Amino acid sequence: MALMVVKFDLKKRVKLAQTVWFMYWFAVLAGILVLSLGLFFKIELRKRSELMDNNESHFLPNLLILMGLIACGINAFGGKVCYDSLDPVKFAKWKPMLKYFLVFCVCFNGLLLLTSLLCFLMRIPLQFTLAEGIKNGMRYYKDTDTPGRCYMKRTLDLMQMEFRCCGNDNFRDWFEIQWVSNRYLDFSAKEVKDRIGSNVDGQYLMDGVPFSCCNPSSPRPCIQYQMTNNSAHYSYDHYTEELNVWKKGCRDALLSYYGGIMNTIGALVVLVTMLEVAVTVGLQYVNSSLSTLANPEEVESESEGYLLEKTVKETFTDIMAKMKAMGKGGKVEEGGEEAVATVS
């Protein structure tokens, strides 16, 4: 017994075809939207690709671009089929392939839903990618004379000013690395010698941060050096004083920014998926209502449209039976090839 049967006369079939045709072209625009979102997200990631630990972060925008292109293609084709369904002669050429097209649409809708879920889940691996990428970037901050790394200082400074953040987890991360190039250190000075000799790695470490960590909204001039030395500044106690540098770490700031983008894209892709499901269902009703005409030559006769030709259970059983038959067929072919090889 067919699932969700609806009776159609000529007027209802024409109205259904026109409605689904309109929805398909709206779905083409939705496909362009998904494509545009993928391109936008890819550009945003490329802006700070130096701070990404790997290229796997580009998987999601590439997937969005691919899904957008496929959506435009299948929706344009579906719109053409609905338009031709008004003419029985034109529709006849599409009828043999419609069943396979609808199966492909169902699979595509599943992939589109999976893509939307990935938009929400990719925040977790992105967190680790940013943490490692920013950490490595801070290590190269001082290498302004090293080819391939000379841009890192500018990248980090612009990022800290734009996102109002400092360091990886917080501003104290700068205390643990040498971020001033040896080129600008006076190695004859006692302070420099003492600082370099005070750690096993021979680095010039200090309780200071780059200028880009300073908060311009603070009423006090920026204290970016000797931040833990109370005697170095008038009326200052670093334990109680409201520091005038950004306290938020750049990993959390970037994760919040990209996470917001991914959540928005994910929500939009869910809406696009719902639209794709609607047009797939609509095309199935168009196809089934034309296939069940009592007399195909009399287009004004009544017909029945349905979502599935059988019940869900029966449809699932048929699919499993066909898959098993295909598996057995493959084994038979392999056995035949082995037999031929033995005879030879």
Q: Which of 192, 191, 194, 190 is nearest to 182 (CA)?
A: 192
* CA torsion through residues 195, 201, 204, 207, sign: negative
Question: Does any domain span residue 281?
Answer: yes
Report the 10 Å Cβ neighbour count for 273.
23
Report the 10 Å Cβ neighbour count for 57.
20
Residues 13 and 123 in one domain: yes
Question: Does any domain span residue 241?
Answer: yes
Residues 216 and 125 in one domain: no
Domain boundary among 246, 274, 292: 246
Cβ contact 106:280 at 8 Å: yes
Question: Does any domain span residue 220?
Answer: yes
Residues 126 and 267 in one domain: yes
Domain count of the chain?
2
Domain boundary among 246, 267, 285: 246
What pLDDT is recorded for position 48? 86
- What are the 10-residue block averages of pLDDT along the chain, 344 residues in total? 76 90 95 96 89 79 96 95 85 86 94 95 89 91 84 92 94 91 82 77 84 89 86 80 84 94 96 96 88 71 75 70 69 57 54
Residues 224 and 287 in one domain: no
CB burial class (10 A; 0-12, 13-18, 19+) of residue 250? buried
Q: Which of 235, 180, 248, 236 is nearest to 208 (CA)?
A: 180
Residues 257 and 242 in one domain: no
Q: Which residue has the tokens 């049967």?
A: 5
Residues 63 and 116 in one domain: yes
Query: Residue 226: which region, alpha, beta or left (left: phi > 0; alpha: psi -120 to 50)?
Result: left
What pLDDT is recorded for position 236? 80
Q: Which of 229, 262, 251 is nearest to 118 (CA)?
A: 262
Residue pLDDT, tens place only, 219-239: 888 888 888 888 888 888 877
81 CB contacts (<8 Å, ≥6 apart)?
Answer: 91, 94, 98, 101, 283, 286
Residues 269 and 125 in one domain: yes
Question: Does any domain span residue 337?
Answer: no
Residues 86 and 230 in one domain: no
Question: Does any domain span residue 269?
Answer: yes
Question: Does any domain span residue 222?
Answer: yes
At residue 8, φ and ψ (nearest 5 deg) are -130, 140
Residues 237 and 256 in one domain: no
What pLDDT is recorded for position 57? 77
What pLDDT is recorded for position 337? 59
**In angstroms, how far apart are the furthest CA atoms of the chain?**
102
What pLDDT is recorded for position 104? 94
Question: Does any domain span residue 216?
Answer: yes
Cβ contact 28:72 at 8 Å: yes
Residues 59 and 82 in one domain: yes
Please indicate, yes or no, whether the overall pTM of this predicted structure exceeds 0.85: no
Domain boundary among 277, 292, 307: 307
Residues 230 and 283 in one domain: no
Question: Does any domain span residue 156?
Answer: no
Domain carrying residue 274:
3-138+252-307
Residues 225 and 256 in one domain: no
